[in-house]
Amino acid sequence: MKRALLSVWNKDGIVDLAKTLATAGIEIISSGGTAKTLEKEGIPIIEVSAYTGHPEMMDGRVKTLHPKIHGGILGRRGKDDEIMQQHNIDPIDLLVVNLYPFEEMAKQALPLDELIEFIDIGGPAMIRAAAKNFRDVIVVTDPADYPAIIDSIQSGAEFGYDQRLSLARKVFARMAAYDGAISNHLQSLEGGFPDVLSLQYRNGRALRYGENPHQDAAVYGETGIAGAVPVQGKAMSYNNYLDLDAAVNLLREFSECAAVIIKHNNPCGVATGSNVKEAYLTARESDPVSAYGGIVAVNHEVDADLAAEIAGTFIEVLIAPSYSKDALPILGKKENMRVLTLPDQIPSPEIRTIDGGALVQQTKPYREEWTVVTDRDPTAAEEAAMHLAMKVCKHTKSNAIIFADSKKAIGIGAGQMNRVDSARLAISRSLESLKGTVVASDAFLPFPDTLEVAAEAGATALIQPGGSIRDDEVIAMANRLNIAMVFTGVRFFRH
């Protein structure tokens, strides 16, 4: 290796790398802020403008776009040597470049005229050229790779084909993400969804299998639930991630102490309490059979007492904001139980693949407009129960019917093809009396029959979106049954 070009926005680690290159007698070409940083450290460099014989121009927009640079990167050793000598082009053996931080600057809501200056041109052109010619040029875009480069140079080890190809792969992945971010941002300026949506997720990790053992699977993501890894227990599975996401989304509906238990993407226990242990025990006892092997999410710290309760049964995954020092050894006795720390929420659109493409949706800020539509208003206790029931309802697969009091979900009917069957399922799964409960429905009641089934089970109030052509019939039946009913105006189908 005789020659390297260094031009980076992120200066982390660049001085140590440059010192290693200089010590090894490798000529360093550099420009702009990188050159100033290296010169300040006493590292000998050749300015790009001196190397090419042309000055930087247009406020730095044009500096590396020159045949001496790109010829030195793209020239194929043993094939293009004669033409390179003819045009006085020296080979560049190592290229270290990272790009202007467009993604970060786009988050700052800069005016477009300012943001556009963070679209890198020379950097992408150079790294793409080097990645194309990876057999002859080592290209580095990630400071995390500097230590390996330093080790190889100091030890005199050869840079093998696999290492060079791996670094080239990172270039094209970075460029896909970079160009996608620019495309998405510029198209978003018109509002709504773009004609072309570019997506890229990093940190891909293979999973043992998918929903079933005959299916291959992986998880991608660096933040939120996608980036979460256990602090103890087995590696997460495909189904674990799906259920954990469902559990956390429901848990975030609550500000008070709450516990959520999820099984196969549906809640089977949801409760609040004066403390998180009380909430967990109440949620678990709502349906202990289904809770067995479930996903548990709580929104307050897990202490030793709660840890002992959780460890006393079979739980697949536990997630909480934190764990006391006394709790972790207790949980550790369950070696296979996955224990995770609740991550920050990462707002993002919902994306589901279908044959030949994808569906994308995003939930904009909305407000339910609760309206009492019956002769009788709900009592304070009924209204509190409605709030809890509707929180659970919006995170339950449709058709969803939830019976609840002010502290817990008592009967959960999910995923049925009609609303009456969902109500009957909720009733059949309840382990306690439904007298005095309220009912939540994720969509309007097309007929009074669901209301009648709920009232017969003991419910005294019902909350639903409203909007059926037979709303008047349902309201009339509620009045005859002395049921207080509230319309919210917002539907919560979940497929």
Q: Which residues are catalytic?
A: 132, 264
Within 10 A of 267 (CB to CB), how many other CB atoms are there? Answer: 30
CB burial of residue 431 (10 Å; 0-12, 13-18, 19+): exposed
Q: Which tokens is 467 given?
A: 């909007």
- The three-state secondary structure class of 133 is coil
Nearest to 74 by CA among 137, 166, 167, 140: 137
> In angstroms, rounded to a whole number, what is the distance separating the alpha carbons of residues 63 and 60?
6
> In angstroms, rounded to a whole number, what is the distance separating the alpha carbons of residues 358 and 71?
42
Nearest to 22 by CA among 37, 2, 50, 48: 2
**Dihedral (Cα; 221, 223, 227, 232), 10-degree rounding:** 170
DSSP 337: S
Cis amide leading into 184 (omega within 30): no
Q: Which residues of 212-244 are buried (b: 16+ CB within 10 A; e: fewer)?
A: eeeeebebebeeebbbbebebbeebbbbbbbbb
> In angstroms, rounded to a whole number, what is the distance separating the alpha carbons of residues 370 and 373?
9
> In angstroms, rounded to a whole number, what is the distance separating the alpha carbons of residues 280 and 483?
31
Q: Which amino acid type is present at position 357?
A: G
CA distances from 308 to 272, 285, 334 (A): 19, 16, 10
Phi and psi at residue 458, to the nearest 5°: 120, 0
CB burial of residue 97 (10 Å; 0-12, 13-18, 19+): buried
**Rg of the chain over CA atoms, in angstroms?**
30
Q: Which residues of 283-314 are buried (b: 16+ CB within 10 A; e: fewer)?
A: bbebbeebbeebbbbbbbebbbebbeebbeee
| Close Cβ partners of 481 (under 8 Å, ≥ 6 residues apart) | 451, 452, 455
